Structure 1
Amino acid sequence: MEDSCRWQLQRSPRMALNQRISRNGKSPTNKHGNGRPVLLSTVWRMKNSMSSVLTLELGQAEPDEINNGFILISANGGLNQQRVAVCNAVVVAALLNATLVLPRFLYSSVWKDTSQFGDIYQEDYFVNYMKNDVHIVKELPPHLQSLDLEAIGSQVTDMDISKEAEPSEFVRSVLPILQQNGVVHFLGFGNRLGFDSVPVHLQRLRCRCNFHALKFVPELQQAGSLLVQRLRKVSAMQTEMDKQLFGNNMVELDPAAFAEDHAAGGPSRYLALHMRFEEDMVAYSLCEFGGGEEERRELQAYRETHFPTLAMRLRNATVSPEEQRSLGRCPLTPEESGLILSALGYDGRTFIYVAGSQIYGGAPRLRPLTRLYPNLVTKEDILTTDELAPFKNFSSRLAALDFIACASADVFAVTDSGSQLSSLVSGFRIYHGRGRAPTLHPNRKRYAQVLSEEGSIAWGGFRRRVRQMVEEYKRVSPRPRGRSVYRQPRTPGCMCRAAGDGSVDF
């Protein structure tokens, strides 16, 4: 690997960092991305390959000895929202010269999962990997555990910090509390740190955390390796992605188990489809999906329970489902997703892994997709009841298996580019895929325009329009302003340079 592409930890004292922020709030410019287009050579692989991807080295310096106190976060959301919160917390702790307490995960009425950090990620690996960047401890010291953090003014909620705030806001608003009380508790911490004004050396910590420090626990790695081997119908895995996902915890299967499949020419490649069509997504979108008055009542009842603020807003405002669809704000149905794949040339023999929880509408809603693609499976189809038992009733642990299957897929197809799973998996494939991990992202607004002509457009015209969208939206470029580093790691402090990683937009 070229020396110019290696990580070099740039630790700065907090005072110097504050001066840097106040002196220049501009985001760093990307000097490495060349923006060359990626061309589809087939529906399975790309012509261009990534020229180089960084393998992060351990930091070269210890964290600053002067410590302002402890940062504690209680992250809300599901697995992927919490993953983002963890890595953002690492950055904030480094920014404020603080010790990070191992993050806690809040219970969600939507996800209904009591899992904590150590149930999903390897605690010791995380602490040791980041030790040269930020101090991390597993709990607050005894003299702070007994404090009522809210009463002393040390609790900071999402109402107190701007969404995607600049580092200077944390220095201005949070640092004085930390220095006075010795501890700050971030409650929620959903997307509280922005992307464009973060100095390169702190952006680097995000990537070290997300792409290297967070390893799933051995139980998830083992189950994930079983899942992927059975999907591939091969027992040997040697890719960089495999090493990152499974480490030394891959369960080796007997090659004889797949002999019959290989003799019959069975599929060894698969497409992973993140079908973001769960009830929460459908309800929040304010769209309609052909279910009439019964569907409207059902989704409104769900909003009243899970999204009360949104439900209250709807009492005083009218939202047009038709306008929502024309603006590209409606999640794709299974049928709409299947039509895109078919138009792109994936035929009925394609082996498809469907990620996600319960599809809204159940089996009847999935039927059009399964008719197009009979080789459609989920983790419940691939793993046995006993193999899934340790993760049953833990939505975050089940989501981790989906993350693994999607990251390992030959092609990853997304139906909602805004979802955290899709965002994180896409970025993971860019970073570790070495140019051989294409991802298909939807442009729902453009697709809605095509579907609006369904009464007057023949299949040939539809297929041509969909493929034209691929041609128009397949360019690879450095991270655009405002885009998540977790989704687009081609940025200073994260990836060196990419000639093309196989990620395309359509």
Structure 2
Amino acid sequence: MLKGANKREPKDLWQEPFVPASAWRPCADQRNWERSEGNNGYILVTANGGINQQRVAVCNAVMVARLLNSTLVIPRFLYSSVWRDASQFSDIYQEEHFINYLTPDIRIVKELPKDLRSLDLEAIGSVVTDEDIMKEAKPRFYLKMILPILFKNRVVHFLGFGNRLAFDPIPFQLQRLRCRCNFHALQFVPKIQETGALLLQRLRQRAGDTGPLDHYLIGPSAVSNKKESSSRAKKPSRYLAVHLRFEIDMVAHSLCEFGGGEEERQELEAYREIHFPALTQIKKTTKLPSPAELRSEGLCPLTPEEAILLLAALGFKRKTHIFVAGSQIYGGQSRLAALTSLYPKLVTKEKLLSSTELEPFMNFSSQLAALDFIGSTAADAFAMTDSGSQFSSLVSGFRIYYGGGKMPTIRPNKRRLASIFLKNNTIEWRVFEQRVRKAIRQTKHVQTRPKARSIYRYPRCKECMCRTD
């Protein structure tokens, strides 16, 4: 059935619709306002989640600080029992660049003034949790509910701050500031950039060429790598990056089943009881859709085996170089074996970087995820298996913003694919191939940001990018 992996590749496999995609160029760096002096007190943010949720929270905090004419204290990151990472802002991002780049927009300091540090913020009502803020809250919420606290206590501490700011309606310059933070102000620290440069060099078979996004991802390391490479270096290898969103947290939260029988069900239920107690409680009190119903609606994560079927049906050859981001796959190496049997040139960062090179990042999942972000964003083509993934959204948005119309992203419509996969045992490979290609081709069109959707994922909007035609 998988003999299609050796056919000639379709012409558009490694391409975006270039003409409409290249009509957009980055312009979130353009400013048209005076600097905010931050006179209305201080905003503390302790962001929760992994590196992707934290990044979004930081950008939202920047926007709220400007909205409230307040001073932002360098954000902190909450230690999570899921991620188990003690990394703080300066372990991942260049603190001085962040402060200096955003100085024309807002005032940023590294810590609270001495007279505010000793305050019991919870006792005086200055701690605001995610329970206190509705999801996708509008700017007027912050003006009405948060600004009075700043006037009274001079400080507000947002604890969590996940997904607590709407994408619409937002004033033009404030939305642009949010883009400016994500695409310009947040740069990885040299340690991550240097190791990221090694990763890219090896993904491209140690060739000296740099990709169009390297400068924005690895900074000066992109230039030094080019200088150090041999003038006789062979042509860089084209590679596909795949984000397999199939970690145990995703698998357990989905409430789907993946062929592991009773042992799998017990393992995932035990994980849910520890990490998703609210979901466990809902299961006991509410009739939820069955795993089969969830799968038919496209609500289950694609398994690594399904991802490989997808790539083969699209026409990627057996010799394709594939970089898999996020190697903590549920089911471990045995599940990855299905991928490597069809695509032997499949690698992870753990295969390309030595244990010595990876040692500074061990036990820091966010810093390891930053390396995956670099490897995925710089790829010649990027395939996501879950369009709702924050990681995939940030990667695809970065590729749109800086890619110049040359960085294709494969976004599956999981509902369409579910109906195709459910029939894959009863249809010919040729028919399966045609249906998969049609489903993916329909997601490849160039579109402006839909209303209320993420500017990080869809930066083609007047606040973030400018049209050249």
SS in 2 for 1:496: strand
Would the aligned equivalents of 1:41 and 1:47 in 2 still touch at CA under 8 Å?
no
Q: Give the equivalent residue in structure 2 for 1:29.
A: none
Structure 1 vs Structure 2 CA RMSD: 1.7
> How far 1:298 moved relative to its partner?
0.2
Pair 1:482 & 2:452 matched? yes
Q: Give the equivalent residue in structure 2 for 1:473.
A: 443
- Aligned mates of 2:468, 2:444 — CA distance in 1: 14
> How far 1:61 moved relative to its partner?
4.6
Q: Give the equivalent residue in structure 2 for 1:354.
A: 324
Pair 1:419 & 2:419 matched? no
Out of 112, 132, 156, the position equivalent to 2:128 is 156
Would the aligned equivalents of 1:85 and 1:189 in 2 still touch at CA under 8 Å?
yes
- Aligned mates of 2:297, 2:451 — CA distance in 1: 21
Pair 1:112 & 2:89 matched? no
For residues 388-417 of structure 1, give each alpha carbon's deviation from its aligned partner in whole angstroms, at most 9, with x where no partner exists. 111011000000000000010000000011
> 1:211 is matched by which residue type in structure 2?
F
**Alignment TM-score, normalising by the size of structure 1:** 0.87
Where do 1:24-423 residues align within 5 Å?
41-49=11-19, 50-57=22-29, 59=31, 61-65=33-37, 67-250=39-222, 251-252=224-225, 254-256=228-230, 262=234, 268-319=237-288, 320-423=290-393
| CA 1:307–1:92: 2 relative to 1, 3 Å | same
- Aligned mates of 1:341, 1:257 — CA distance in 2: 34
| CA 1:237–1:88: 2 relative to 1, 3 Å | farther
Would the aligned equivalents of 2:411 and 2:443 in 1 still touch at CA under 8 Å?
no
Would the aligned equivalents of 2:413 and 2:440 in 1 still touch at CA under 8 Å?
no
- Aligned mates of 2:181, 2:208 — CA distance in 1: 28
For residues 353-379 of structure 1, give each alpha carbon's deviation from its aligned partner in whole angstroms, at most 9, with x where no partner exists. 000141000111222211111111000
Would the aligned equivalents of 2:252 and 2:271 in 1 still touch at CA under 8 Å?
yes
> How far 1:336 moved relative to its partner?
0.3
Pair 1:461 & 2:431 matched? yes
- Aligned mates of 1:142, 1:469 — CA distance in 2: 58
- Aligned mates of 1:66, 1:98 — CA distance in 2: 4
> How far 1:236 moved relative to its partner?
2.6
Unaligned runs of 5+ in 1: 1-39, 500-506
What is the number of residues matched between the two proteins? 455
> How far 1:329 moved relative to its partner?
1.1
- Aligned mates of 2:283, 2:459 — CA distance in 1: 37
- Aligned mates of 2:195, 2:283 — CA distance in 1: 43
Unaligned runs of 5+ in 2: 1-9
> How far 1:317 moved relative to its partner?
2.4
> 2:286 is matched by which residue type in structure 1?
A
> How far 1:321 moved relative to its partner?
0.5
- Aligned mates of 1:238, 1:313 — CA distance in 2: 50
For residues 65-118 of structure 1, give each alpha carbon's deviation from its aligned partner in whole angstroms, at most 9, with x where no partner exists. 461100100000000100000000000000001000000000010110000000
- Aligned mates of 2:36, 2:140 — CA distance in 1: 19
- Aligned mates of 1:468, 1:59 — CA distance in 2: 42
Q: Give the equivalent residue in structure 2 for 1:11.
A: none
Identity of aligned residues (%): 58
Structure 1 residue ranges, 4+ long, deviating more than 6 angstroms after superposition? none
- Aligned mates of 1:234, 1:456 — CA distance in 2: 44
| CA 1:315–1:268: 2 relative to 1, 3 Å | same
> 1:305 is matched by which residue type in structure 2?
I
SS in 1 for 2:324: strand
Would the aligned equivalents of 1:235 and 1:252 in 2 still touch at CA under 8 Å?
no
> How far 1:492 moved relative to its partner?
2.2
- Aligned mates of 1:423, 1:300 — CA distance in 2: 28
- Aligned mates of 1:426, 1:330 — CA distance in 2: 21
Q: Give the equivalent residue in structure 2 for 1:8.
A: none
For residues 312-360 of structure 1, give each alpha carbon's deviation from its aligned partner in whole angstroms, at most 9, with x where no partner exists. 1111223310111112110000010011111111011011000014100
> 2:405 is matched by which residue type in structure 1?
G
- Aligned mates of 2:229, 2:382 — CA distance in 1: 26
Would the aligned equivalents of 1:490 and 1:498 in 2 still touch at CA under 8 Å?
no
- Aligned mates of 2:31, 2:371 — CA distance in 1: 30
Would the aligned equivalents of 1:410 and 1:438 in 2 still touch at CA under 8 Å?
yes
| CA 1:342–1:121: 2 relative to 1, 3 Å | same
- Aligned mates of 2:53, 2:158 — CA distance in 1: 15
> How far 1:42 moved relative to its partner?
2.5
Would the aligned equivalents of 1:331 and 1:416 in 2 still touch at CA under 8 Å?
yes
Would the aligned equivalents of 1:91 and 1:205 in 2 still touch at CA under 8 Å?
yes
For residues 176-215 of structure 1, give each alpha carbon's deviation from its aligned partner in whole angstroms, at most 9, with x where no partner exists. 1111110000000001001011111100011110000000
> How far 1:238 moved relative to its partner?
4.1
For residues 246-268 of structure 1, give each alpha carbon's deviation from its aligned partner in whole angstroms, at most 9, with x where no partner exists. 21134527535995xx4xx8x71
Q: Give the equivalent residue in structure 1 for 2:416.
A: 446
> How far 1:385 moved relative to its partner?
1.2
> How far 1:146 moved relative to its partner?
0.6
Would the aligned equivalents of 2:314 and 2:433 in 1 still touch at CA under 8 Å?
yes
| CA 1:237–1:168: 2 relative to 1, 3 Å | farther
**Alignment TM-score, normalising by the size of structure 2:** 0.94
| CA 1:42–1:258: 2 relative to 1, 3 Å | farther
